[in-house]
Each structure stands twice: as C-alpha cells, then as structure tokens.
Structure 1
Amino acid sequence: MATPAPLPMDPIAEAKRQWVAHGWADAADAMAAYSSVMRAHQLMYSRVDAVLKPLGLSYARLELLRLLSFTRDGALPMASASARLQVHPTSVTSVVDRLEKDGMVRREAHPTDGRATLVVLMPAGRELVEGATTVLNSEVFAQPGIPAGDLRTMTAILARFRRESGDFTDPVQYPDPL
C-alpha cells in the first residue's frame, strides 16, 4: 500500500481553530493534545505493524513474547501477563491461543496453584521475539523521527498523565541501609 501524500495543512490545528471559533477555547488545547496523541498513536502503530507483519507478529503477540523472554524461566501465570501488559485476561487468552497454535508458547499447569495456568515461552518463540526485536529496534526505535531529548520529555509527560489517571503508582522508595 502506497503512503498517502501529506495533507496541505494540519487538520488538528484546524480543529483547534474551529473549537476556539465556536466558543470552546477553554477546551481547545486539551482537544488538540488528545487528538494529537491519538493520531501519533496511529502513525507509530503503523510503523511498528509494517515491521512486524512480515514476521507474522502483531504488537500484542510481540509484547507477550517479549514479556515472557524477560522472565527468569520464560514463564508467567496468565493473570500476571494480563496485569503486566495492562490488558483484559480475555485478550491475553486470545494472544496465547494464536501463539500456542503457532508453536511459540505452551500452556502448563502452575506447579503450586491449581487455579493458575502458566504461559511458557518455547524455543521457536524465543527465536522469533529476538529476531523481531532486533528488526524493530533497527528499523523503528533507533530512528523514531523524534529527537532523543523530546522523546524523554514526551515519555515523562505521558507517564505523569498515566500516573495521575490511576494507571500506576510510584514504587515505594526504601531508605538506604544504615
């Protein structure tokens, strides 16, 4: 699919102008910020998807494989995966179903909790996620199209927004040992 030509103007700036013109100036900056984040998400997701699709991966599948690869044993309870990925358990089940069908993960009973199921990373899944991460890092993350300082500022602003929206709490800061 060909990349569409850039628009001759910024539609979000125009929407903000219209917001102000229609008497909603007090909400115009927030509308523009929200719209900008949503559009940036679309653009970023498209870049990531273009890299992952040829590898047979979606971002959701990559996230789960990467999460499992970060664990000591390559395994996590499905409920823990759901919590860490911040997605509904049904979504994790769906991703695990597809990855299991492709031989990338397997399910196994939790050794001490009869109610829990572990998702276990298989060698083919580890190989796929390592290769996909290498390609994603070189083709997207190493050249994000945003200067490094701006990335850090953007991440900090969005983290503050997420924290204040109840997405996470700051970890407890323990004192240094005496």
Structure 2
Amino acid sequence: MPSPLPRDPIAQARDQWISHGWAAEADSMAAITALMRSASIFLQRADAILKPHGLTFARFEVLALLGFSKRGSLPMNQASRLLQVHATSLTNSVDRLEATGMVRRVQHPTDGRTRLLELTTKGKGVLIDARQDLNVQLFSNSGMPEADAKDLSQILSRFRHSQGDFL
C-alpha cells in the first residue's frame, strides 16, 4: 500500500465541488467516492490475505457460496445470481478454481442442460483455512469499531434494497 497522503483528497474534492457551485451534490460525491475507495482498500487487503491460498476474493466467494450450500453444489446459473456477477465472470473464476482442483463441474442428475458447480475435498480444506485467515486478519481487524461496522452495514443494506438489489 502506498504511503498515506498528508490530507484527505476526497475532503479536498468535496471542497472543490462546493467552490464550483455543486454544493447540493458535494456530500453525495464525497460519500460515494469514499465508499469506492474503501471498497478498494478492503479488496486489496482481502486479496493479500487470500493469495497464499491461491485465491482472490472473487474465487473465495465462489468457494464460500458452495460451502454454505446444503449439498456443496449449485447450478452455475444460480451461483451467478447469488454472487451477483455476470456468468462470464463466474466462468473465469470457476475455470481457475477447477484448474487447481478446488471445484469441479458435474452434470445435473435430472436436468441434462444444467451443470452443477461442486466443491471438492481440496476446496473444502482451502475454504476452511482461507475463511479462518479472513476472520482473523480482516473481519475481526477491519479498522472500524464494531458499532460503526454494524451501522455501515445497515446503511448499505437500506441503500442496496432501495436500488432493487434484493426484495
């Protein structure tokens, strides 16, 4: 991670927004920009933690989803929907996970047109270890007080709901 800046560039951008006559939009611009920057920071941290496991956060999410499923498998289209990613992005992650033996594609037992994505024994082991590392190094050490994390989660949930992300 680069050296910290002497001042908050988002706060400076907010001030510039106001000075250019966009005061009504300044707080939203600052909030959205800060959210995107924060997401980038967390993604970088997560990817660094997961790298020794041969994972990115996107690939970890695939393993975690399969790990939470009742049978350890899901149809590809359902996994894509639940992860809220385009099928092409999921296929890329699955290709890489399959190449390392963490998942496999199998034929659906009753629907010949559907492929299931299945967690392998190796994938289960990697998932357990990776989840432990994320819990210790990121989720329990986020840099946010617990109350802030809860508040932020609720705020973002309300926003996502208002945008039709879920019912």
Q: TM-score, normalised by structure 1?
A: 0.92
1:152 maps to which residue? 150
2:88 maps to which residue? 90
Deviation at 1:4, TM superposition (A): 2.2
The structure 1 segments of at least 4 consecutive aligned residues displaced by more than 6 Å after TM superposition are none
Distance in structure 2 (CA, Å) of the matches to 1:54 and 1:113: 37
Bigger Rg, structure 1 or 2: 1
Aligned pair 1:128/2:126, yes or no?
yes
Distance in structure 1 (CA, Å) of the matches to 2:37 and 2:151: 18
Deviation at 1:33, TM superposition (A): 0.5
Distance in structure 2 (CA, Å) of the matches to 1:25 and 1:156: 26
Q: Secondary structure at the residue paired with 2:5? A: coil
Superposed counterparts of 1:157-172, under 5 Å:
157-169=155-167
Deviation at 1:110, TM superposition (A): 0.6
Aligned pair 1:23/2:29, yes or no?
no
**Paired residue type of 1:129:** L
**Paired residue type of 1:80:** Q
Deviation at 1:60, TM superposition (A): 0.9
Q: Secondary structure at the residue paired with 1:114? A: coil
1:4 maps to which residue? 2
Q: Secondary structure at the residue paired with 2:116? A: strand
Superposed counterparts of 1:21-170, under 5 Å:
21-169=19-167
1:172 maps to which residue? none
Count of residue correspondences? 167
Q: Secondary structure at the residue paired with 1:118? A: strand
User: Identity of counterpart residues, as a percentage?
Assistant: 50
Residue ranges of structure 2 left out of the alignment (5+ in a row): none
Deviation at 1:70, TM superposition (A): 0.8
Q: Secondary structure at the residue paired with 2:4? A: coil
Query: Relative to total residues, which structure has the larger helix share, 1 or 2?
Result: 2
Residue ranges of structure 1 left out of the alignment (5+ in a row): 170-178
Distance in structure 1 (CA, Å) of the matches to 2:42 and 2:26: 24
Q: Secondary structure at the residue paired with 1:120? A: strand
Q: Which has the higher contact order (CA 8 A, sep 6+)?
A: 2
Distance in structure 2 (CA, Å) of the matches to 1:116 and 1:27: 47
Q: TM-score, normalised by structure 2?
A: 0.98
